[in-house]
Amino acid sequence: MVSSPQQRPFCVVGRWSGADIEVWAVQEALRDDGERSEMREEYCLEAEEAFGSVEVVCAASAGEAEMNARVEAVQTAARIRRDLTSIGRKASPRNRRSGMGSTYYY
């Protein structure tokens, strides 16, 4: 994880649903990679019980970490939507008789 001297890692805990995030907690993460990994794993186990997840975000403050997580969620949802749209356009076979798109699996 690369961050500027002013930024530090934060664990953002919550439920992601596309571009929407329900943030439950933002906790400054430990700087040591091994300890941070253990900390994230503990948070993940707790979050999974409530169908949530944990993201590690670099920021200067907890508020900025939450904002960055929200921006990343919006960007990721938009990228997934674009990817699915482009895949759908490439994979829409046409029935020659009706002109309708239909696929049959046997």
Tell me the whole-structure pTM to 2 decimals: 0.65
pLDDT at 44: 87
**pLDDT 10s digit of each residue in the chain, 106 long?**
555 668 999 989 998 888 888 899 898 988 888 888 888 888 888 888 888 888 888 999 999 999 999 998 899 889 888 888 877 666 655 555 555 555 544 4
Tell me which H or E stretch contains 43.
helix 33-49
Structure tokens at 68: 């960055």
